Chains A and B, each alone.
Chain A
Amino acid sequence: MTAITRAEVAHLATLARLDLTETELDHYAQQLDVILQSVARVSEIASADIPATSHPLPLENVFRDDIARPCLDRAEVLAAAPAHEDDRFRVPRILDEELS
């Protein structure tokens, strides 16, 4: 049994805005399947008394004080963008529905 279907890979590609060819889809579906099956083997070893972790460091409650500090220079920031206009980042037309 595969850990991920070709259809799921195609869906993920759409979500990630990746335009994959049929050949690429086959290729990545196979590769991702190997990766997922390998990772799944970790679950076989981890028993219920070993909690899942999302962070390598045993840290909690790392905060900073609520103090405002100087920001980047706008001209420098915008100069690094592919396009800008009216002091704003210019982005290609958004075809999707309005989210906001």
Chain B
Amino acid sequence: MSTAMPETIPYDEALNLFEPVFGLEVHVEMGTNSKMFCSCPTAFGGEPNTQVCPVCLGLPGSMPVVNRTAVESTIRIGLALNCTIAEWCRFARKNYFYPDMPKDYQISQYDEPLCSNGYLDVTVATVEGPKVVRVEIERVHMEEDTGKLTHAGGATGRIHGADYSLVDYNRAGIPLIEIVTKPVAGAGHLVADVAKAYVAELRDLMRALGVSDVRMEEGSLRCDVNLSLNKPGSPMGTRSETKNVNSLRSVERAVRSEVERQSALLTAGGRVVQETRHFHEDIGRSTSGRSKEQAEDYRYFPEPDLVPIAPSPAWIDELRSTLPELPSAKRSRLEAEWGITPFELATVVNAGALDLVEETIEAGVESAAARKWWTGELLRTANDQGIELADLPVTPAHIARVEALVADGSLNDKLARQVFEGVIAGEGDVDEVITSRGLAVVSDDAALLAAIDEALVAQPDVAEKIRSGKVQAAGAIVGAVMKSTRGQADAAKVRALLLDRLGVTEA
């Protein structure tokens, strides 16, 4: 490549030139008590290698037995995704040499997934209002998670240059569901939003089903993003696969950065290499990994240690009857209950704030106030810190407390913001922050009147205008008082005191 060529083309410009096609493979760790094929516990964060047994260590002679709950969870996910449930299917061995699986194979499903051919409708916010996009599901299958490697020696802690690696098998064998979409075309400029909304919708669906609590920061939902570009009217282009995409924000960024990178390559007359790329959360970009030109040879074959799964229609019906209200139905209901438009709800959903707003309203806060905090001030803070809203230290209970204090006049909006600032900074709960920062609306009339007099003296011309009946000039004095009290006054009260002081009434 010549040095004069741009390495990227801005996203929107790129999508004026090319049509994107994306696909997502999402892995979700199930929230079962025990592992997929053995009875080891699945709790996160245990001491290394304390949640292991002969089965998940691959010791000779050990035999796997399938966890019924994991199968039921997979069927329920399949039903919620409008999939066909296989009448009969098997597990398969995926053979590969890598120390993250002590057996040297992973038990997965290959050509006989438990669920196939479904769809999930996702809503994205556009300037013309919410748009529903149908993402078709290719398959949903069961497999087991792998162990965790730490690369030791070398300078970077990365695999390259490492002298050796250390393995913790606590995670090996935890039930993993892989959900694979069909290629999604036609999203145009919305491609990054649709990809992100799809993962968000899946996450909400998993939570609603109660099959996983989806803690993305603990790696319980991981995505591989496939993306290709083609000229309008041309066949689908060569795709890259970006791995390690482990947050909603990263899904969006991974899609955007691939659109920008591939479009520059193609525009310069180059070609996209079919390869695996690794996404780096810290820099928000991916780097090239393995070339896929020589496809992996996993030598899949039916798992001889496990018998087939043949869910009866009665069992499937029984599982269907346990499906809860699904997120899309819930959204329609909440639009009605909260009296808001689909666009307003989409704002809440896209902010990842649906549950938080709902809990805040349940805690007694007005819908408008709950939405204002979560999709305004708090969302900005979360974005600035590069984390999800739910990971902020602010809880619905905090908002309920602050709103109660605003309602009884102890806080105003500006002070409320400072309270949340303190809570986010780890200074304690709402009341602790108020005490330690000395935040309270100045309600002492004498103190306010003193501040008002001071402001009137400083701006005699404004004072004269108000006295002569130009009530609209009062804003300048109120502003000065708010400033001198560092925002700790109730503006409406200051205004009333001021007019009273000058003997004028509201026009």
Q: Is B304 an interface residue (CB 8 A)?
A: yes
Complex contact A55–B308 (CB within 8 A): yes
Please tell me which stretch of A21-29, A39-47, A65-73 contacts chain B, meaning at least 4 of its Cβ atoms lie within 8 angstroms of it: A65-73
Query: Which residue on chain A has the smallest CB distance to residue B305?
Result: A55
Q: Which of B134-187 contact A (CB under 8 A)?
A: 146, 149-153, 158-159, 162-169
Q: Which of A11, A15, A85, A99 has the most CB of B within 10 A?
A: A99
Taken together as a complex, chains A and B put the C-alpha atoms of A55 and B167 apart, in Å, by 32
A77 touches B52 (CB 8 A): yes
- The answer to whether B99 touches A89 (Cβ under 8 A) is yes
- B222 CB to closest chain A CB (Å) equals 9
Partner of A71, one of B53, B98, B150, B299: B53
0/1 per residue, B420-441, Cβ < 8 Å to A? 0000000000000000000000
In the complex the two chains form, is B49's CB within 8 Å of A87's CB? Answer: yes
With A and B bound together, what is the CA distance between A92 and B48 in angstroms? 19
Instruction: Give the number of chain A interface residues (Cβ < 8 Å).
Output: 38
Q: How far is the CA of A59 from the CA of B146 in the complex (A)?
A: 28
Asked if B327 lies at the interface with its beta carbon under 8 angstroms from chain A, I say no
Given contacts A11-B297, A63-B67, A63-B68, contact A69 B34 (CB under 8 A): yes
Q: How far is the CB of A96 from chain B (nearest CB, A)?
A: 7
**Shortest CB–CB separation between residue A92 and chain B, in angstroms?**
6
Query: B243 — which chain A residues lie within 8 A by C-beta?
Result: 100
Let me know if A50 is at the binding interface, CB within 8 A.
no
Give, as a whole number of angstroms, the nearest-CB distance from B49 to chain A.
5
B307 and A77 form a contact (CB under 8 A): no
With A and B bound together, what is the CA distance between A93 and B397 in angstroms?
Answer: 50
Distance between Cα atoms of A59 and B309 in the complex (Å): 9
Question: With an 8 A cutoff between CB atoms, is A57 at the interface?
Answer: yes
- The interface residues of chain B lying within 8 Å CB-to-CB of A55 are 302, 304, 307-308
Q: Please give, as numbers and ranges, the residues of chain B lying within 8 Å of A86 by CB-CB distance.
A: 48, 166
B71 to A88, Cβ gap below 8 A?
no
A64 cross-chain contacts in B, Cβ below 8 A? 39, 65-68
Q: Are A90 and B297 in contact (CB under 8 A)?
A: no
With the chains together, A74 CA to B170 CA distance in Å?
Answer: 11
Residue of B nearest to A92 (CB): B164
B65:A15 contact, CB within 8 angstroms: no
Instruction: Say yes or no: is A91 at the interface (Cβ < 8 Å to chain B).
Output: yes
Q: Taking the complex as formed, is B376 at the interface, i.e. its CB lies under 8 A from any CB of chain A?
A: no
CA distance A100 to B68 in the complex (A): 27
Within 8 Å CB of A16, what residues of B?
97
Chain B, 37-57, CB within 8 A of any chain A CB:
39-42, 47-54, 57
Given contacts A77-B52, A78-B49, A100-B146, contact A61 B70 (CB under 8 A): no
The interface residues of chain A, by DSSP majority, are classed as loop
Quick check: A60 and B99 within 8 Å, CB to CB?
no
The verdict on B69 contacting chain A, using a C-beta distance below 8 Å, is: yes
CA separation between A49 and B98, bound complex, in Å? Answer: 40
Secondary structure class of chain B's binding surface, majority of residues: loop
**B32, CB-defined interface residue at 8 Å:** yes
Q: B475 at the A/B interface (Cβ < 8 Å)? A: no
- Across the interface, name the chain B residue whose C-beta is closest to A93: B164
Contact yes or no, A94 B162, CB < 8 A: yes
- Contact, CB under 8 Å: B33 / A74: no
A57–B307 CB distance below 8 A: yes
User: A60–B310 contact, CB under 8 A?
Assistant: yes
| B167: chain A residues within 8 A (beta carbon) | 88-91
Task: Check A66–B34 contact: CB distance below 8 A.
Answer: yes
* A98 located at the interface, meaning its Cβ lies under 8 Å from any Cβ of chain B in the complex: yes
Say yes or no: is B117 at the interface (Cβ < 8 Å to chain A).
Answer: no
Give A70 to B311 CA distance when docked, in angstroms: 30
CB-defined contacts of A72 to chain B, threshold 8 Å: 52-54, 57
B278 contacts the other chain (CB 8 A): yes
A77 to B59, CA, bound (A): 10
B39–A67 CB distance below 8 A: yes
In the complex, which residue of chain A has the Cβ closest to the Cβ of B291? A97
B244 at interface by CB-CB < 8 Å: yes
Q: Give the shortest distance, in Å, between B126 (CB) and chain A (any CB).
A: 36
B11 contacts the other chain (Cβ, under 8 Å)? no
* Residues from chain B with Cβ under 8 Å of A69 in the complex: 34, 39-40
From 282 to 320 in chain B, residues with beta carbon under 8 angstroms from any chain A beta carbon are: 289-290, 297, 299, 301-304, 306-311
Q: Are A66 and B33 in contact (CB under 8 A)?
A: yes
Q: Does B95 contact A (CB under 8 A)?
A: yes
Is A1 positioned at the interface, with any CB of B under 8 Å from its CB? no
Using Cβ atoms and an 8 Å threshold, which residues of chain B touch A68?
33-34, 39-42
Please give me the residue from chain B that is nearest to A73 by CB atom. Answer: B50
Give complex CA distance A65, B387 in Å: 37
**Contacts A64-B68, A69-B34, A97-B276 known; 10 new A-B pairs at CB < 8 A:** A62-B66, A63-B66, A66-B32, A66-B68, A68-B40, A74-B49, A87-B47, A87-B168, A90-B164, A94-B151
Can you show 13 pairs from A to B with CB atoms below 8 A apart? A55-B307, A61-B307, A65-B68, A66-B32, A66-B34, A66-B68, A68-B42, A69-B39, A71-B52, A72-B57, A74-B50, A89-B167, A94-B98
The 4 A-B pairs at the shortest CB distance, nearest first, are namely: A54-B302, A66-B69, A88-B166, A63-B68
